[in-house]
Amino acid sequence: MEAVYASTRAEELAAVPWIAEQKAAFCRMQFAAQTEHYRQHYPNARHSVIEHRGTAVGRLYVDRWEREIRIMDITLLPEHRGAGLGTQLLRELMDEAAGMGKALSIHVEKFNPALHLYERLGFRMREDKGVYLLMEWRSSAECGVRSVE
């Protein structure tokens, strides 16, 4: 999963004048720090490999709490983005959250192109945390919306 993590930093590191080995070392260090953070703060989370047609194409880390399902990380390798896989995974999590009467949330960097996907799927900003937005989705039933006959 280190390669998946590194793919999320590639664009950012393209502007850095380091040699490939320095960039790889930086990504290993950052991946290790992220992994340790997740172990400390999300000890019951499920860490899954996203597969498509038998090939590992990403990762999905989710923690399920009493009132909320938190997506800690959802990442697809660049060559698998934009094909609907992320939308499908998010919809499955939305269905799970709706079925359990829970909110679905994720922290998203303000400059992350996936922010538009979350907004299109109905996620709304719950909190601005500087670089990150805490985005939240709730089913219409949970929000108290009901049809009138």
Q: Are residues 28 and 76 in the same domain?
A: no
Q: What mean pLDDT value characterizes the chain?
A: 90
Domain count across the chain: 2
23: containing domain? 1-41
Of residues 37, 41, 14, 38, the one with CA closest to residue 26: 14
For tokens 């950012």, name the residue. 12
> Are residue 31 and residue 49 in the same domain, yes or no?
no
Residue 97: closest CA among 70, 121, 72, 118: 70
| 30, 56: one domain | no
Residues 98 and 129 in one domain: yes
Kindly indicate the confidence band of residue 141, based on its pLDDT and cuts at 50, 70 and 90.
low
Same domain flag for 13 and 61: no
* One domain for residues 32 and 53: no
Let me know whether 61 and 110 are in one domain: yes
pLDDT, mean of residues 21-27: 93
| CATH number of the domain enclosing 106 | 3.40.630.30
Closest listed residue to residue 114, CA positions, set 56, 60, 75: 75
Q: Tell whether the model's pLDDT for residue 149 goes beyond 60.
A: no
Going by the DSSP 8-state scheme, the letter that residue 89 receives in this structure is H
In this structure, are 84 and 130 located in the same domain?
Answer: yes
Place of tokens 């000890």: 43
pLDDT per residue as tens digits for the range 89-105? 999 999 999 999 999 99
